[in-house]
């Protein structure tokens, strides 16, 4: 039963990371708009600073896309052959990849429905990862 819940939570978490990464890569304005509204207003002549922030948000998306895809690949390998060494990279990559979006959301102060789901998935991933890590 623990393994089924583990797989459900980690598949949802890694799919969320992949979706977050794709959205940040394709449309960094999703992250830029809350930053500009809640953190800092750049003067109109600071176009280079805004372009720089957009590239940083694309980088954040890229660094969520890679662990999300890696996590999904490793989850598939773990499902096929339950080898305990695969469990540790899944837990580490998923939990550490969630830190970037969580820190960004808390810094910006933009907490909505999806951010609450993100926090719940992170908490479940940490708890289930620790439980199965000890087995």
- The structural domains of the chain, with segments of one domain joined by +, span 2-133
CB 75 within 8 A of CB 10: yes
Reported as half-sphere exposure (CB side, CA atoms, 13 A), residue 70 has a value of: 18
Please choose, from the candidates 71, 57, 60, the residue with its C-alpha nearest in 3D space to the C-alpha of residue 13.
Answer: 71
- Strand residue runs (E) in 72-114: none
Q: How many residues does the chain have?
A: 135
pLDDT in tens, the chain (135 residues): 788 898 999 999 999 899 988 988 898 777 777 777 777 777 777 778 778 888 888 888 888 899 999 999 999 998 888 888 888 899 999 988 888 888 877 777 767 788 888 889 899 999 988 888 887
- pLDDT for res 104: 77
CB 100 within 8 A of CB 55: no
The torsion region of residue 109 among left (phi > 0), alpha (psi -120 to 50) and beta comes to: left
């Amino acid at each position: 039963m623990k393994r089924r819940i583990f797989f459900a939570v980690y598949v949802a978490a890694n799919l969320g990371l992949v979706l977050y990464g794709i959205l940040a890569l394709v449309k960094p304005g999703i992250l830029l708009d809350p930053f500009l509204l809640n953190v800092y207003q750049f003067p109109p002549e600071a176009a280079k600073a805004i372009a720089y922030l957009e590239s940083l948000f694309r980088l954040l998306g890229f660094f969520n896309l890679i662990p999300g895809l890696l996590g999904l690949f490793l989850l598939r390998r773990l499902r096929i052959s339950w080898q305990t060494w695969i469990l540790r990279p899944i837990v580490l990559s998923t939990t550490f990849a969630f830190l970037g979006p969580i820190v960004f959301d808390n810094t910006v102060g933009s907490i909505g429905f999806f951010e609450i789901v993100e926090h719940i998935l992170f908490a479940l991933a940490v708890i289930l990862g620790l439980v199965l890590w000890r087995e």
